[in-house]
Amino acid sequence: MLYWRKIGGRCMEPLTAQMTTPALVGGQIPNIRPRRLRRSAALRRLVRETELSASRFVYPLFVTHGEGIQREVPSMPGIFQWSVDKLGQEIEEVVSLNIPAVLLFGLPETKDEAGSEAYNDAGIVQRAIRRIKALAPDLLVVTDVCFCEYTSHGHCGIIRNGDVDNDATLGLLARTAVSHAAAGADIVAPSDMMDGRVGAIRRALDEHGYAQTSIMAYSAKYASSFYGPFREAAECAPQFGDRRSYQMDPSNRREALREALLDVAEGADILMVKPALPYLDIIRDIRESLNLPLAAYNVSGEYSMIKAASRNGWLDERLATLEALHAIRRAGADIIISYHAKEAARWLAE
Ligand code: PBG
């Protein structure tokens, strides 16, 4: 039996039958004191319900054509576009911080209607994978599988009659995933939101001898304004229209579960919700309904908001970032993809 009691005329606190001792019901000095366990840092650490550690992080990397390039993304302070030859320093840092995985995005030299650089075996991502595997064989390499960085029109698939053609895109996505696996990718992560892509990619990987390559599916990827800074970083803003005919409507909750269930049925190994902070309810829903590992993408806009506010002296960057990352874990994510991963790993090690 649960009783509710008004305290000080402001908040309502639940009281179990066992707690309703005469002293408490009488509104006198409480004999139950939650504050006892908050008294010291050691006590708070002992009873903490959610752990955050670098082992949970995936660090996104933007790899660009050319040589000798380390170009900061204006809307994402601290995040750079790297040419393949310059990746060493970044990879060494990620490994030394105990971050187990990187997520690669490629900026190709040329773009065309069909996004053909995406499945070029000597393409930018394929070369970056080989280089990273040579530098750090144990670091997991996850690759974003999508066309928006490779197509001249900036959409995530092939355009037919002014719209993204789902089924014409599937074969090319599968071809891209196989090409990433052949270069040594451990996990491919389709982010295009075409129907049936996880199944198409799974079949193609298996047929080409990559049965051990995992799929991390961007299952519930919303058509979000929080991708703004990323589109500058990856140079992939759509040249006409928007992505609302394939990415999810931010108003929808049940649909996210339906998308996730489809990805499970099609053979996904890891599910993902994206963005993270405005969609904590979706992370919780999927965590409670399904038992696959769950990733959350703490996207570019979430990063840039904290960066901008802290540069203005409006937020404490360290506290705000760790609070946000804890919240994503608390909602139910096992894995967090974050541009803050390196800094957070450093803060957590202090
Ligand atoms: C590619 C892709 C996007 C992001 C990850 N993969 C952009 C988009 O869909 O427009 C966004 C990541 C971020 O904002 O950090 N489709």
Ligand 1: which residue has its CA nearest to atom 11?
A: 227
219 touches ligand 1 (CB under 6 Å): no
Q: What is the pLDDT confidence band of residue 9, given thresholds at 50, 70 and 90?
A: very low
Predicted pLDDT at 347: 98
What's the gap in Å between 230 CA and the centre of ligand 1?
6
101 touches ligand 1 (CB under 6 Å): no
191 touches ligand 1 (CB under 6 Å): yes
Classify 169 as helix, strand or coil.
Answer: helix
Classify 263 as helix, strand or coil.
Answer: helix
Q: Residues 181, 154: contact at Cβ < 8 Å?
A: no
The catalytic residues are: 221, 274
> What does the pLDDT average to over 289-301?
98
The upper half-sphere exposure of residue 157, i.e. CA atoms within 13 Å in the direction of its Cβ, equals 26
What does the mean pLDDT of the chain come to? 93
- For residue 89, pLDDT beyond 60: yes
E-strand ranges in 8-139 read 11-16, 57-64, 70-72, 80-83, 101-107
- For residue 42, pLDDT beyond 60: yes
- For residue 11, pLDDT beyond 60: no
Predicted pLDDT at 25: 58
Was domain 53-349 assigned CATH 3.20.20.70? yes
Q: What is the pLDDT confidence band of residue 1, given thresholds at 50, 70 and 90?
A: very low
Q: What is the pLDDT confidence band of residue 341, given thresholds at 50, 70 and 90?
A: very high
Q: What is the pLDDT confidence band of residue 3, given thresholds at 50, 70 and 90?
A: very low
What are the extents of the domains in the chain?
53-349
What's the gap in Å between 227 CA and the centre of ligand 1?
6
Rounded Cα–Cα distance for residues 278 and 327 (Å): 11
* This prediction's pTM: 0.92
Burial class (CB in 10 A: 0-12, 13-18, 19+), 317: middle
What's the gap in Å between 87 CA and the centre of ligand 1?
21
Q: Which ligand 1 atom sits nearest the alpha carbon of residue 227? A: 14
